Every structure is written in structure tokens, then in C-alpha cells.
A = this chain, B = another copy of it.
Amino acid sequence: MDNLNKSFQSPPWGDSGSFLSVKDAGNIDDLIKLALHYKQNPFAHQALGKGKRMGLLFLNPSMRTRLSTQIAAQNLGMEVIVFNASQDGWSLEFEDGAVMNGTTAEHVKDAAPILGNYFDILGVRTFPSLKNRDEDYAEKIINQFVKYANIPVVSLESATVHPLQSLTDIITISEHLPLKDKTKPKVVLIWAPHVKPLPQCVANSFAEWMNEWNQAEFVIAHPEGYELDKRFIRDALITHDPVKALNDADFVYVKNWSSYADYGKIIPVENDWMLTTEKLSVTNDAKVMHCLPVRRNIELSDEILDSSNSIVTEQAGNRVWAAQSVLSNILNGLT
């Protein structure tokens, strides 16, 4: 273990050692620094995870998150086992006191302790119902894994946040800093249309991390009816005027989300919020970000995605280093 890594092994890293949101992140700049260290030296700490095993449980399917986390864990020397709940015919019960005479085959109270027994770290991907806002925003599901697994749990996206994505996003922004002509970049999170109702996770989480990081002028633009939960956006600047938001922006993060107020619904929008090259012209030649997968010519035009303004591939690539940085800290906290 070299000094670089040791320096990150500092409290607070969550009491449970889990990583569920920015609250468990400790010093964000330290996480970024370690991530960029791994980007240069993927196998720098391959002894750290030797003999340790990580389980990746997907209650909802995933491609980028699965691959990047698996690679990050392997880079640290861990063995990784992936299992998809639905594919493995494994439907979990989360209600306390349930009389299990229906379709759920196992209670999380029984399943999670065993995962905690088999693994050293557990990654869990859940998803909001988009029906019951109170339950979703209480993070009922992932919190039960934390409660019963008795090992560090890493969120691979939960009902309301996606912290590994947000760390990735800030790493990606920071790689393009400092700007020549500004001390603080202007970063715009802008809503875009989609064909399906999507969670608010990525937007909530990005807002929360941007606020905590606090090294940018942060603006959120969305149509009326798409207001996000105040607990995440805090005092970020909100506008319904995309032109005003985009003006002189250095980074534009495009993302759809469904309504929080009319929970989980797609509310009709008058203007076309798809980002195009024309709209981008008022920015400071902004870098365009998206967490992917992206619906081309719905959320973002081909023209932008195929241009040099787009940094979405670089951003997705950084998923590995964000995960590796977080897992490294968790491993340092074990034993």
C-alpha cells in the first residue's frame, strides 16, 4: 500500500463502510485524485483486494455499471461474481411481516445476511417503482441490504441517486479544468425528452454532488412540472429558459427525468427540449455530457453526439476509475 492510497483511508467513510450517496464520499477531491491515479495505473493496488470477493446484485439490468464495477474490482485484485435477480429466478420480498404466499420467494432479511456471509463487499442496483414516492425516496430497498448484509454495500444506482455516476461526472469535468478564461466553470444540467418515464436518480445525484463539490457555477434547466426534490438541488440556480441556462456554459449535462411532483409521470412539454448544435451555439463551446444510454435524436441530436463537443465516451470510460477509487477506500476500511 503506497502513501497515495493510505492518505484516503481517513474517516469519515460512512459508519457501515457503505457507499450510498455523496454523504459517504469523504473528500471528493481525494476521490478524484485517486481515480485519476488508477486511470494511469490500473493495477497499482492489485494486492489490496487479494482474497476478497465482491458480489454484484442487479435487481434491474445494467451494462455500463456492471462492466465498469466488475473491471474496477478486478483491477484491485478482487474476485467478482455477478448475479441478476430476475434472470436467476429470484424474486425478493421487502415488506416486513409479509405472509409470503405470493410470488416472492425469499425475504431480504434472509437473503442479505447470506450475501454478507459469502462476500466482502456487496454492490446492489435497485430501481424506483416510480409509483410510490415515499417508499422510493426512503430508499427502502437498498437500505434493507445495508441493514441486513452486515458488509459494506455499494450503490450501483438506487431509487433516488446514482453516486458512482456522479463521481464519474465530476472526475470527467475536472479533467477539463482549469479553463483558460474562468476561475469557475459554468455547469448546466438540462432536461431532455424521452419516450419512457425515467427515474430522477442521475439528476438528483449530480445536483447533490455538484453542491457538495462546490467548484462550479451550477445551473439546472427544465420545463415546468419537472422540479426536483429540494433536498438534492438545495440552492442551485433553477431556470425554465434553456437559452439563458446554456449561455456561456462550459459543460452541458443532458438528462431526462420524469416528474417528481406528479410522481413518475411524463408531463407534456410545449417546446422542443432536445439539445441541438444550434442551441449549443450560445455556450462557451461547451463539452456535452450524458450518462448513457442516450436516445439519439430524441434527447440529443446525432450532430452533437458525433461532434468533438461530446465527451460521453470519455465520461463512460471514467466509470471504471470512479468505482475503483471508491472500492479502494472501502477495501482500506476492511479488517
By beta carbon, the residue of chain B nearest A91 is B293
The number of times this chain is found in the oligomer is: 3
Tell me if A62 and B88 are in contact (CB < 8 A): yes
Cα distance, A66 to B90, chains bound together (Å): 12
Contact A298 B63, CB 8 Å, known A110-B292, A114-B292, A313-B113: no
Which residues of the partner chain B approach A292 to less than 8 Å between Cβ atoms? 106, 110, 114
Tell me if A110 and B312 are in contact (CB < 8 A): yes
By beta carbon, the residue of chain B nearest A82 is B81
A1 at the interface (CB under 8 A from B): no
Q: A67-75, A157-165, A215-223, A281-289: which one contacts chain B?
A: A67-75
Q: A22-30, A95-103, A131-139, A243-251: which one contacts chain B?
A: A95-103
By beta carbon, the residue of chain B nearest A70 is B81
Which residues of the partner chain B approach A53 to less than 8 Å between Cβ atoms? 71, 74
Tell me if B313 and A106 are in contact (CB < 8 A): no
By beta carbon, the residue of chain B nearest A195 is B101
Contact A118 B81, CB 8 Å, known A106-B294, A306-B109: no
A268 at the interface (CB under 8 A from B): no
Tell me if A305 and B83 are in contact (CB < 8 A): no
Which residues of the partner chain B approach A305 to less than 8 Å between Cβ atoms? 109-110
4 extra A-B contacts, CB within 8 A, seeds A61-B87, A109-B296, A117-B317: A63-B106, A84-B87, A106-B294, A111-B293
